[in-house]
Amino acid sequence: MIRQVSVDDRLLHGQVAFYWTSYYNLDMILVLNDEAANDEFTKMILGLAKPREVRLQIAEVEAGFEIVRRQLESPDNVLIIVGSLFDANQVLEHFRELKTLNLGGLRMRPNGKVLNERTALTSEDIAICRRLLERKIMITVRHSPEVAESLLTESVLKQL
């Protein structure tokens, strides 16, 4: 069962590895990121960041679709992490049954607009969020389960 699809440009780090793992009682973390999937050093670092009892799979975004398909029917609790809204949109477009997305962290980039202390959105990100909202995807903004969840809405996007 896919418990959450999350965007975090750091991919796997302490908050994800321990807070979300405990919150969802995760069996597996699936990182869908083209660069990480093709970099042995990054894969090693991500492997060190995960809790021992949790499996980690790292795949290119499109190549990972078969893994996602299997996990949709699995009894395992799975967290999918992508590094960008572009990649999240690919996953959510391909798997229409997934109806939520969490923005965990996107650091400031050129021409980014601050959403909160951990998330900045570019104009491309905002356009993707608008398309997701039009498709009735619920977008939450939450970097850890201890933080109150807030929803990203069109009115919030207009303020950016």
Dump pLDDT digits (tens) for 101-138: 999 999 999 889 999 889 999 999 999 999 999 999 99
2, 56, 68, 96 from 75: Cα distances, Å: 9, 16, 13, 19
Q: Is the pLDDT of residue 15 over 80?
A: no
Using CA atoms, how far apart are residues 145 and 22, in angstroms rounded to an integer? 9
8, 36, 71, 134, 135 from 125: Cα distances, Å: 13, 21, 27, 14, 15
User: What proportion of the chain, given as a percentage, has pLDDT over 70?
Assistant: 100
Residue 19 sits at the vertex; the CA angle it makes with 17 and 23, to the nearest 5 degrees, is 115
What's the half-sphere exposure (Cβ side, CA atoms, 13 Å) at 2? 24
Q: Is the pLDDT of residue 90 over 80?
A: yes
Q: How confident is the model at residue 157 (pLDDT cuts 50, 70, 90)?
A: very high
Given this model, what pLDDT does residue 16 score?
79
Of 69, 45, 70, residue with least CA distance to 58: 45
Rounded mean pLDDT, 137-160: 91
The answer to whether the CB of 113 falls within 8 A of the CB of 39 is: no
Q: Which two tokens stand for residue 50?
A: 């995960």
Using CA atoms, how far apart are residues 120 and 142, in angstroms rounded to an integer? 13
Q: What is the pTM of this model?
A: 0.94
